[in-house]
């Protein structure tokens, strides 16, 4: 059955936008010589890593009979399907059909393969459609590439639509209430006025009457991958270093589940870097997970149609702008030829 343009736009909005990069899983999920089945944008994929660390991402579907390649055997530079032994390499090309050597499947690229990059301990993949098969330019978040910045990746999966997770990040005011008892967001006013400030790569959503106290601003960055940046002042008890920063991304697993990626970072060097990393692992990390758990509990408790029955006000301008961007993009992509076949 062919979906209407409206239905296609709704599907894209629910499962994730195309023609951009998305985080998939932490890199350590796929060890050298390992296979891992993952779901992203509502589709099943296989990550497999050669012994030298090279990573490939394939549709989790054998080109012969559609069996999941993730149940197969890792052969070093290729995967053998468990069902009939058909072998596929990292580019999606059939290299061997053991049951019928010389079969016309051999040498053909029959499995979708996605471009992948690894940064900050996470796997990023490019999801295109038929009109945009080649990956768009990717500019990585500066805190993840700056050698003077030390970061830790926190990853979790929440039973929420991916847009709820992104909207939560574009809502600084919730920090003063939901996270009021946390070790960093207990201070500052519980009333505020906000503004949107446009940038070349996205926009800031920031308080106009408070800065450097709480969760006072957030920047949405669209640089081939969507990410947010924010910083929160740290008390002296948190050790040396500048403000505590967060880079956040979200992976649409499917319509009701999201992988959330949070890099917690500070600009520190030398002995201060070692001190900061020690304090984080021994003391601060647990507190950060407590804050994330507050977000998870709240978002998972919200009904699936929460964004259909709202009464918004000035504090929600950042969320409204985000929805407008994503809905417009979903509508535009719904008019293009179908995306690469879903596994």
Q: Over 90: is that where the pLDDT of 234 sits?
A: no
Which one has a higher pLDDT value, 306 or 221? 221
Q: Which two tokens stand for residue 261?
A: 């990626």
Mean pLDDT of 174-186: 72
Token pair listed for 157: 């999966």
Phi-psi region of 239 (alpha: psi -120 to 50; beta: other; left: phi over 0): left
Euclidean distance between the first and the last CA atom of the chain, given in angstroms as a whole number:
17
328/222 Cα distance (integer angstroms): 15
- Residue 160 vs residue 283, higher pLDDT: 160
Question: What is the four-CA torsion angle of 4, 8, 11, 17, rounded to 10 degrees?
Answer: -170
Higher model confidence: residue 245 or residue 58? Answer: 58
SS (H, E, C) 104-130: CCCCCECCCEECEEEECCEEEEEECEC
Half-sphere exposure of 99 (CA within 13 A, CB side): 9
User: If residue 228 lies in a helix (H) or strand (E), which one and from where to where?
Assistant: strand 226-232
Q: What is the pLDDT of residues 82-130, one digit of tens each?
A: 999 999 999 999 999 999 999 999 999 999 999 999 999 999 999 999 8
> Which domains occur in the chain, in start order?
20-127 (2.102.10.10), 142-328 (3.90.380.10)
Q: Output the pTM of the full model.
A: 0.92
To which residue do tokens 């409204």 refer?
Answer: 320
Percent pLDDT > 70 in the chain is 93
Among 113, 121, 134, 168, CA closest to 20: 134
Residue from 332, 250, 248, 253 nearest 19 by CA: 332
Nearest to 225 by CA among 250, 208, 196: 250
CA distances from 107 to 48, 73, 85 (A): 20, 20, 15
pLDDT in tens, 181-228: 765 555 556 777 889 999 999 999 988 877 766 667 799 999 999 999
Nearest to 163 by CA among 334, 323, 1, 342: 323
Say if residues 244 and 238 touch (Cβ distance below 8 Å): yes
| pLDDT for residue 335 | 86
Q: Quick one: average pLDDT of 284-299?
A: 91
The span from the CA of 185 to the CA of 267, in Å, is: 20
Average pLDDT over residues 44-53: 96
What does the pLDDT read at residue 343?
Answer: 45
**Is the Cβ–Cβ distance between 159 and 306 less than 8 Å?**
no
Q: What is the mean pLDDT of residues 253-281?
A: 93
* pLDDT the model gives residue 342: 44
Give residue 227's pLDDT.
98
d(CA 251, CA 223): 16
Among 143, 121, 322, CA closest to 231: 143
DSSP 3-state assignment of 223? coil
* The two structure tokens encoding residue 209: 């009457």
Residue 314 CB partners (closer than 8 Å, separation 6+) = 193, 194
- For the chain, the average pLDDT equals 91
């Amino acid at each position: 059955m062919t979906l209407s343009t409206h239905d296609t736009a709704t599907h894209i909005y629910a499962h994730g936008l195309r023609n951009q990069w998305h985080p998939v899983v932490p890199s350590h999920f796929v060890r050298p010589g390992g296979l891992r089945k993952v779901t992203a944008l509502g589709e099943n994929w296989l990550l497999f890593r050669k012994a030298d660390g090279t990573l490939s991402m394939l549709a989790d579907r054998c080109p012969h009979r559609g069996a999941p390649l993730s149940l197969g055997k890792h052969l070093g530079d290729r995967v053998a399907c468990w069902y009939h032994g058909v072998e596929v390499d990292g580019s999606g090309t059939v290299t061997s059909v053991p049951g019928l050597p010389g079969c016309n499947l051999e040498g053909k690229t029959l499995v979708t393969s996605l471009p992948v990059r690894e940064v900050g301990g996470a796997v990023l993949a490019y999801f295109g459609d038929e009109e945009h098969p080649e990956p768009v330019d990717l500019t990585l978040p500066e805190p993840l590439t700056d050698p003077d910045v030390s970061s830790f990746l926190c990853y979790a999966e929440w039973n929420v639509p991916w847009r709820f997770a992104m909207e939560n990040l574009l809502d600084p005011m919730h920090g003063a209430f939901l996270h009021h008892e946390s070790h960093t967001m207990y201070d500052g006013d519980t009333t505020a006025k906000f503004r949107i400030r446009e940038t070349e790569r996205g926009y800031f959503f920031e308080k106009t009457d408070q800065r450097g106290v709480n969760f006072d601003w957030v920047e949405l960055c669209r640089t081939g991958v969507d990410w947010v940046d924010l910083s929160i002042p740290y008390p002296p008890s948190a050790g040396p270093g500048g403000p505590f920063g967060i880079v956040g991304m979200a992976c649409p697993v499917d319509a009701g589940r999201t992988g959330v990626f949070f890099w917690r970072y500070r600009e520190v060097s030398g002995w201060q870097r070692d001190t900061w990393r020690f304090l984080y692992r021994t003391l601060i990390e647990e507190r950060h997970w407590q804050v994330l758990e507050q977000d998870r509990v709240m978002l998972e408790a919200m009904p699936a149609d929460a964004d259909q029955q709202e009464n918004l006000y000035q504090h929600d301008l950042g969320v409204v702008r985000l929805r407008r961007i994503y809905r417009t993009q979903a509508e535009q992509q719904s008019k293009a030829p179908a995306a690469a076949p879903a596994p």
